[in-house]
Amino acid sequence: MKTNLILLFFALTAFSVRAQYRFTGHVDNTQWHNNVYLSIIEDYRKMSGVYSEQIIAKTSTDSLGYFKFTGNQLENENRIYRIHVDNCFDDAQNQNHFDGNCDDSKEVIFIAKNTDSIEFPFTFDKQMFCDINSSNEKSNVFVKIDSIREEMKFAFSQYRSEANRKLNNKKWFKTLQDFGEKLNEPIAELYIYSFLSDRRNDLHEHYLEDLMDNTYYDNLLNRLNETYPNSPYTKQYKAELTSDEFIINKDTGMGFSWNYVLYPLLAVSLMGNFWFWFSLKKQQTVTVNKAKEQLTKQEQNILNLLLEEKSNKEIADALFVSLSTVKTHVNNIYKKLNVQSREAIKSLFNS
């Protein structure tokens, strides 16, 4: 009985802690309000900022400034999360969170899943330079990427010439891409991609050039499909990549054009009309020849004179027959050729 109770206790304990996340850190209460927010970022274009639709939990710091988030409602695979503090007043907070803009705020962005325990050892001001203590080795990849971006900013600031900017664009563009690929985490590569392809960024022009002939972007899509096939990140990236590829192809004259469809259709239509006309003409010729073969020699003679627009009297005089005989032959010709008038005969043979 005692053994069963012990087993039951461990089973209940294991069940209660299963799939639990735990995020802890410290906030300077003298600088920030004691409210701390946890958000899930499903749109990688909205990594930086404050958006009310992303917030999934809110907690308050203790008297020493320490906070803790825990629960089991997160995704079971890696997603991008943000913890932020701000000094928005309560009456204006909803508006600031809705706008996605709060000038007086600090944030830390990280990768996590529902079973992770993460400790943020320093305040938000020092977060970029700290090592996040986490059960998930991918949690601190954004910190590493940001450290490279800081080096990049320093390189750009040394010489502000146009030549230096172009050289650094190519160098740091590839440096960031290669670093992201080595991290073996497609979500981290999206963090880099969102920076390199940002239209407000000087690197955007180089990104469009690179997209023309670099297979990296298609390979990234393959990695996302393999690791996160149903995630919003994969769907968003695929849509953006398709859009950007269309733009560059259109600008270079390589994009889709209705001319590629219309011209072949026009050619097929002309060929079809020609074939139809030729077939109809051939069929008419066969039909007329067969009908003409049914005529007697005298009727053929009269037909030739009809086609010369001779009157019945002129035909009678030319063939030395009576007018009534001509009229009889003409009626027979009408029946055999299935026509009702001289005009119909001319139309039949002249066509």
Rounded to whole angstroms, what are the CA distances from 255 to 58, 112, 214, 264?
A: 48, 40, 17, 17
Q: Which residue range is the domain that position 306 belongs to?
A: 294-350
Total count of residues recorded for the chain:
351
- The sign of the CA dihedral 141, 144, 148, 154 is positive
Whether residues 213 and 120 share a domain: the answer is no
- In this structure, the answer to whether residues 34 and 74 fall within a common structural domain is yes
Q: What is the mean pLDDT of the chain?
A: 80
**Is 114 in the same domain as 186?**
no
β-bridge mates for residue 117, sequence order: 22
Considering the domain boundaries, does residue 283 fall inside one?
Answer: no
Instruction: Give the pLDDT mean for 51-71.
Output: 92
Count how many Cα atoms sit within 13 Å of the Cα of residue 215 in the half-sphere of its side chain.
2
Which of these ranges, 81-90, 111-120, 316-325, has the smallest mean pLDDT? 81-90
Residue 288 lies in a domain: no
Confidence at residue 12, expressed as pLDDT on a 0 to 100 scale = 47
Residue 130 lies in a domain: yes
Q: Which residues contact 66 (CB under 8 A, 6 or more apart)?
A: 24, 25, 26, 27
Q: What is the pLDDT of residue 14?
A: 45
Q: Are residues 134 and 148 in the same domain?
A: no
- Give the residue with greater pLDDT, 109 vs 281: 109
* Closest residue by Cα to residue 166 from 176, 156, 180, 181: 156
Residue 236 has what pLDDT?
Answer: 95
Distance CA 319, CA 299 (A): 11
Q: What is the CATH number of the domain that holds 334?
A: 1.10.10.10
Are 221 and 129 members of one domain?
Answer: no
Quick one: 203 and 134 in the same domain? no
DSSP code string of 166-183: HHHHHHHHHHHHHHHHHT
Is position 60 within any domain? yes
Give the percent of the chain with pLDDT over 90.
31
| Count of structural domains, the chain | 3
Give the CATH number for residue 98: 2.60.40.10
Indicate if 135 and 150 belong to the same structural domain: no
pLDDT tens track for 294-313: 888 888 888 888 888 888 88
227 and 213 within one domain: yes
Whether the predicted model's global pTM rises above the 0.95 cut:
no
Query: Does residue 246 lie in a domain region?
Result: yes
Q: What is the pLDDT of residue 232?
A: 94
Q: What is the pLDDT of residue 334?
A: 83
User: Are residues 150 and 133 part of one domain?
Assistant: no
260 assigned to some structural domain: no
- Given 220, 251, 282, the domain boundary residue is 251
User: How many angstroms separate the first and last alpha carbons of the chain?
Assistant: 110
Q: Is residue 287 part of a domain?
A: no
Looking at 81, 111, 139, the residue that finishes a domain is 139
> For 131-169, what is each residue's pLDDT tens digit?
678 889 898 898 889 888 888 877 777 666 677 677 777
Give the separation between CA 236 and CA 42, rounded to whole angstroms: 9
User: Does 109 share its domain with 169?
Assistant: no
| One domain, residues 76 and 153 | no
Indicate if 154 and 207 belong to the same structural domain. yes
Which residue among 83, 104, 139 closes a domain?
A: 139
pLDDT of residue 21: 95
